[in-house]
Amino acid sequence: MPLLYFWENLKMRTLKDINFKNQRAIIRVDFNVPLNEDLQVTDTTRIKAAKPTIDYILSAGGSCVLLSHLGRPNGFEQNLSFQNIIDKISEILDHKVLFCKTCIGSEAESKASSLLPGEVLLMENLRFSPEETKGDLVFSEGLSKLGTIFVNDAFGTAHRAHASTTIIANFFQYNKCFGSLLEKEVLAIDKVLKDGISPILAILGGAKVSTKITIIESLLEKVDHLIIGGGMVYTFTKALGGKVGNSLCEPDYCNHALELIDKAKQKNVTLHFPVDVVAGNTFSNDARQKIFDVMEIADGWEAMDAGPKSIKKFHDIIIKCKTILWNGPLGVFEFPNFSEGTIAAGKSIAEATINGSFSLVGGGDSVAAVKKFKMDQDMSYISTGGGAMLESLEGKTLPGIASLN
C-alpha cells in the first residue's frame, strides 16, 4: 500500500529530537472546535489534544506560537475570531495564552519575537487570509518568520497542502518535527495497517459505496475480516439480487460492489453484511419500525439500522479479533430509535479492547457516535482526523506529513 511505504521511508523526527531551549516553536495545532450560538466551545477534545506538545516545549525552555484555523470564514468574521475563545483555550491548556489579531506582518513578528521562554501566543484565525488554503508561498514565508522551529501537531489537516500545514515546512530544513499528537496518530494507524495482530477486523459504515471504494480496496490488502454497515449495505444487497425497498442505494455502483466481493475472495478476506435490518416507514426517529431480512426489504420501508441477528453476528466476529478499526456507524445513530446497531458495535469493540485487543476509531461519524454514547474511554485510540484518517486509509500520501521529511 502506498501509504505504508511512504511512512516506512519517512524519518519521523519527534519532539525529543529537537532542542527547544530559548527557541520559539511554531506549532500548527487544530483548534477547529465546534461553537454554540453564544460562541462557547462545545467540545474541547482538540484543544486538550494539543496540550502535551505545548507542555513539552515549555518545559524544555522554549516558547510557543500557535497557528490554527476555525471554521470556514469568507474573509474576517468576528464570530470565528479566536479572540472569542482565548480565555477558554487558556483554561484548558492551564496556561495564560496571549493573542495576536493577525498572523503575518510586522505586528505578528514583533509579538512573536518578544516572547519569553515559557510563554504562549495564539495567532488569529489563519483562514481569514485566503492565502492559507491556497498554499501561498509568500504567506507561508510570513508565517515561518514567527519562530525558529516548526512543529506540526494537526493530524486533522495533514491531508491539506495549505500554507500552515505543508508549505511552511519548506522554510525549515532540519528544525521541524512531529508533535506528540501527530506522532500518536501515525503510530496508531501503523498499529492497524502495518503491525496489526491477526485476526484484523475493519468495520466500515457510511452512506455510500461510491465514497468508500478505494478505502475498501486498500483494507482488503491488510485485514482478515471486513464488516460492511450503514447505508452502503443496500447497494451490495441490490447487486446480489436482493430487494432494498426505499433504502439508500446506488444502482450505478452495483458492479463495483460485485467486484469488491470478488476481490475479497481473492484476498481471503471474509466480508460480513447484516443478515437482518431495522427499517422505518419514513426517515425519522418516530417512524414505525419493522425488521426485515436484509435481502427482502419491502417497498415503502427504509433500512436504518442493523437488526438483532446482525448485532449478535457482528459481536461474535468483533470479540475474536485482536486488531479492530472502526470507521463509520452501522445505522442512523442520530435517531435514538435506530441507534442500537451502532451502540452494540461500540460495546462489542469495548469488550474486545478490555480483553486485550487494539481498537482504533477514526472518521468523523464513528468518533461522534462513541462520544455521544460515552464509549470514548473504552477504545484504545480515537483519531482526531476525519478527512485525514479517510485519506490515510485509502493509502494516499498526506502532504502535511510528507513535508516534515
* Strand-strand pairing, 200-204 and 323-327: parallel
Which residue in 40, 41, 352, 46 sits closest to 185, CA to CA?
46
Catalytic, 387? Answer yes
- The distance from CA 292 to its chain's CA centroid, rounded to whole angstroms, is 33
Residues contacting residue 164 through CB under 8 Å, at least 6 positions apart: 28, 67, 69, 126, 132, 140, 143
Residues contacting residue 69 through CB under 8 Å, at least 6 positions apart: 32, 125, 126, 127, 132, 157, 164
* DSSP calls for 114-163: TPPTT-EEEE--GGGSTHHHHT-HHHHHHHHTT-SEEEE--GGGTT---T
Q: Which of 24, 28, 46, 313 is catalytic?
A: 46
CB 66 within 8 A of CB 401: no
CB 371 within 8 A of CB 42: no
Q: Which of 51, 194, 290, 387 is catalytic?
A: 387
The phi and psi torsions of 336 (rounded to 5 degrees) equal -50, -35
CB 348 within 8 A of CB 319: yes
* Strand-strand pairing, 289-293 and 276-280: antiparallel
Our separate counts of H helices and E strands in the chain read 15, 17
Q: Which of 88, 145, 194, 208 is catalytic?
A: 208
Residue type, 82: F
Q: Say which residue the cell 474573509 belongs to.
A: 75
Q: Say which residue the cell 452494540 belongs to.
A: 344
Judged by DSSP in three states, 143 sits in: helix
Name beta bridge partners: 290: 279
Q: Which of 364, 371, 372, 396 is catalytic?
A: 364
The C-alpha cell that represents 136 in the structure block: 501561498
Residues contacting residue 213 through CB under 8 Å, at least 6 positions apart: 253, 256, 260
Catalytic, 13? Answer no
* Strand-strand pairing, 302-306 and 323-327: unpaired
Catalytic positions: 46, 208, 364, 387
